Amino acid sequence: METQDWYSVNNFAPGSYQITEGGRFNMLLLEGDEKAVAIDGGIGVANLRKLYESITDKPIDFILTHTHWDHVGAASQWDSVGVHPVGKDLIANDHSKLEQAFVNMWKNNGNAFPDWFDEDAYGIKPATFGWTLQEGDTFDLGNRKFRVYETPGHSPCSISLYDEREKILVSGDLIRCEEYLFLQVPTAVLSDYAPSLRKLEKVAAENEVRWITSGHTDPYPDPSIIGELAQNMEDLEAGKYDPPAKVDGGAWGEVDEYVFPRAKVWIQDHARK
Ligand SMILES: [Zn+2]
């Protein structure tokens, strides 16, 4: 496998790979009988496509769960990208400040890049819009069908996917099990968050979800977390929790932190409007 000393690969279900970039940024490669789908593109430090073509010889479509910089990294390695309509014009955004901040933070934290990495040449190239993915859409990789759900909250361009064959619920950055729900990001809207979780709770109730995946946590086997987080977020919105702790959110400045049994939440006031 062409991991380029940078990617790690977890074959967590049949024809299903979670690829992690730099130990932090997750992507998926899911294979059907006729083709495969690549979901999200990490931060684009290495050649993701080369890795994928060493895993599968089927044609690979590339799609995004949302358009944050740490998901679009390798998108330009494909000719066209499937994305929610809200993200259509965002896939060519200039993320150079964030990329540079990341490089500095990565090194300051004592982490390394691969030997061949040229940090001066590093940058996320604009990607090309290909097709939209929205509520009710379906696609089939050959004996492997997917359903698309609109799940804003972390970002208005966020979608989730349900894989009928392997019963994988792909949540993007919406459900980061036993980790941080990020509502301090500029695109977050608190009032959208719980309804999106309730929508996926219903998907889980009507199907036997086996894995929940996210952009920053490992495949999680217990779908009961979805309703639990929805309740947490509804209670947060209703003001049922004590005033949050103010903590240092690094690049985001000071953030409010809530601690729930199976997740923490970082949020800033802009998301509460
Ligand atoms: Zn995100």
| CATH code assigned at 138 | 3.60.15.10
How many domains does the chain fold into?
1
| CA 154–ligand 1 middle distance (angstroms) | 7
30 vs 15: CA distance, rounded Å: 6
Which 3 state secondary structure label does DSSP give 95? coil
Residue 2 in domain: no
| CA 33–ligand 1 middle distance (angstroms) | 30
Beta strand residue intervals within the chain, DSSP E: 7-13, 16-21, 25-31, 36-39, 60-63, 81-83, 129-132, 138-140, 145-150, 159-163, 168-170, 180-183, 211-213, 245-248, 254-260, 263-267
- Provide the pLDDT for residue 23: 87
| CA 180–ligand 1 middle distance (angstroms) | 11
| CA 240–ligand 1 middle distance (angstroms) | 26
| CA 78–ligand 1 middle distance (angstroms) | 20
Residue 257, φ and ψ in degrees, nearest 5: -120, 130
For tokens 């901040």, the residue is 101
Residue 213 in domain: yes
Burial of residue 167 (CB within 10 Å: 0-12, 13-18, 19+) is middle
Residue 233, φ and ψ in degrees, nearest 5: -70, -35
Residue 243 in domain: yes
Which 3 state secondary structure label does DSSP give 108? helix
Residue 46 in domain: yes
- 30-64 pLDDT, tens per residue? 999 999 999 999 999 999 999 999 999 999 999 99
| CA 235–ligand 1 middle distance (angstroms) | 23
| CA 83–ligand 1 middle distance (angstroms) | 14
| CA 196–ligand 1 middle distance (angstroms) | 15
**Could you list the residue range(s) of the whole structural domain that residue 153 is in?**
7-272
Residue 41 in domain: yes
| CA 182–ligand 1 middle distance (angstroms) | 8
Residue 1 in domain: no
- Provide the pLDDT for residue 3: 92
Instruction: Give DSSP secondary structure letters for 30-57.
Output: EE-SS-EEEE--TT-SS-HHHHHHHH--
List of the chain residues with pLDDT < 70: none
43 vs 53: CA distance, rounded Å: 18
96 vs 125: CA distance, rounded Å: 9
121 vs 61: CA distance, rounded Å: 27
- Provide the pLDDT for residue 251: 82
Which 3 state secondary structure label does DSSP give 197? helix
- Provide the pLDDT for residue 91: 93
| CA 140–ligand 1 middle distance (angstroms) | 26
- Provide the pLDDT for residue 273: 82
- Provide the pLDDT for residue 199: 98
